[in-house]
A = this chain, B = another copy of it.
Amino acid sequence: MSHNTFGHLFRVTTWGESHGPAIGCVVDGCPPGIPLTEADLQPWLDRRKPGGSRFVTQRKESDTARILSGVFDDGDGPVTTGAPISILIENEDQRSKDYGEIARAFRPGHADYAYQAKYGVRDYRGGGRSSARETASRVAAGAVARKVLGEAVRIRAGVTQLGPHRLDQAAIDFDVVYDNALFAASADSVPAWEAYLDGVRKAGSSVGAIVALEIDGVPAGWGAPLYGKLDAELGAALMSINAVKGVEIGAGFEAAALTGEENADEMRMGDDGRPVFLSNKAGGVLGGISTGQPITARVAFKPTSSILTPRRSVDRDGNEVDLRTKGRHDPCVALRGVPVVEATAACVLADAFLRHRAQVG
């Protein structure tokens, strides 16, 4: 996790701005011999890509990924070679327009002011580097990571809270997430949530949400204490997703109100001679190392900052202004955040897998 690279061994470097000619990433450190084509990337990108429903931005991007390096077909189909995999996605719908007001004014809730303060210059076209468009690169990298992990590791996420509407734990069903336009982890909630989000959308407003993540199939032992703890790495990677303001593992913030008795995940011997946990307050991670239980996390997204309601702000010249953000925006940025959460987790896990293999064999 340094500048625009994350990962220690499975390393992903992303680049590109919202309204530049293209975005992309370089995935380095991938094991060799893994079958990989662009067709392996596209389904995941399609889940994140804009324009799929009225609940996401109407920007038109095919998000077609091209692999420019790192795979080779020696007769049995393209496989990774161990060399860096460069993936490029062209920007297709960077509308030429007058950025007049936004070029100088700082949109509240956006990174505009912070970028200007840090760098003294900023690419204000669609948010430039700070745009969530970057997450397409992560999704592409995550697709590679999934291939490294193999099918035994299953990574699933879904919206479990939309604004004030929260699913009961028992209602959560990750299998339905990509079957509804809200990426909701419950089919039953969809009609009411759609009605609610339609209201938000028509009001030119936006709303936050919580995305839950569940990972099955990670064996006990991944993670590198103390500062490369699996939960710390997941925490950092998820927190680095646009609009994320909180991450919790297992019982998370609710653990603060538990007693030691309630929080202890007791163990018994399973039929296969391996320990079985009787609960999963730990969220599959103890001491920074996976326990073999499902890894569970929840990620809080703030509402999209771009709204039609005018907000008070200032500009680069010190003027006070009122700003409303026109254009194409997601009423709830967390929705398309679901595949991003999954992809980010996949990258963290692929890295943890390789690091574990390095140290322990």
**B16 x A86 contact (CB < 8 A):** yes
Interface string of A277-315 (1 = CB under 8 A from B): 010011101111111100000101111111101011110
Least distance between A98 CB and chain B CB atoms (Å): 13
Q: Which residues of B contact A229 (CB under 8 A)?
A: 239-240
Least distance between A116 CB and chain B CB atoms (Å): 9
Least distance between A44 CB and chain B CB atoms (Å): 19
In the assembled complex, the Cα of A238 lies from the Cα of B4 at a distance in Å of 21
Closest to A325 in B: B260
Interchain residue pairs A-B with the least CB separation, the first 9: A111-B287, A246-B248, A236-B236, A358-B358, A206-B260, A117-B220, A114-B289, A118-B221, A32-B119
**B260 x A360 contact (CB < 8 A):** no
Q: Which residues of B contact A28 (CB under 8 A)?
A: 3-5, 13, 15
CB < 8 Å neighbour of A253 from B8, B23, B240, B245: B245
Closest to A117 in B: B220
Closest to A7 in B: B227
Least distance between A64 CB and chain B CB atoms (Å): 14
**B225 x A129 contact (CB < 8 A):** yes
**A86 x B208 contact (CB < 8 A):** no
Q: Which residues of B contact A334 (CB under 8 A)?
A: 256
In the assembled complex, the Cα of A66 lies from the Cα of B16 at a distance in Å of 13
Q: When A3-B228, A33-B119, A312-B278 are in contact, do A260 and B14 touch as well, CB less than 8 Å?
A: no
Closest to A333 in B: B260
Q: List 10 A-B contacts (CB under 8 A).
A: A15-B26, A81-B121, A114-B289, A117-B221, A118-B221, A163-B256, A208-B255, A208-B263, A255-B300, A268-B314
Q: When A120-B33, A134-B226 are in contact, do A303 and B69 touch as well, CB less than 8 Å?
A: no
Tell which of A50-58, A102-110, A150-158, A177-185 binds the partner: A102-110
**A4 x B121 contact (CB < 8 A):** no
Q: When A15-B69, A108-B266 are in contact, do A114 and B84 touch as well, CB less than 8 Å?
A: no
**B318 x A269 contact (CB < 8 A):** yes
In the assembled complex, the Cα of A84 lies from the Cα of B16 at a distance in Å of 7
Interface string of A57-77 (1 = CB under 8 A from B): 000000000101110101000
Q: Which residues of B contact A302 (CB under 8 A)?
A: 251, 255-256, 258, 263, 281
In the assembled complex, the Cα of A4 lies from the Cα of B29 at a distance in Å of 8
Closest to A227 in B: B6
Q: When A163-B257, A255-B301 are in contact, do A226 and B4 touch as well, CB less than 8 Å?
A: yes
Residue among A30, A252, A356 facing the most chain B CB atoms (10 A cut-off): A252
Q: When A20-B68, A255-B245 are in contact, do A83 and B235 touch as well, CB less than 8 Å?
A: no
Q: Which residues of B contact A283 (CB under 8 A)?
A: 245
Q: What 9 new A-B contacts, CB under 8 Å, besides A5-B11, A81-B128?
A: A1-B1, A22-B86, A79-B121, A115-B289, A120-B360, A205-B260, A251-B302, A268-B314, A278-B312
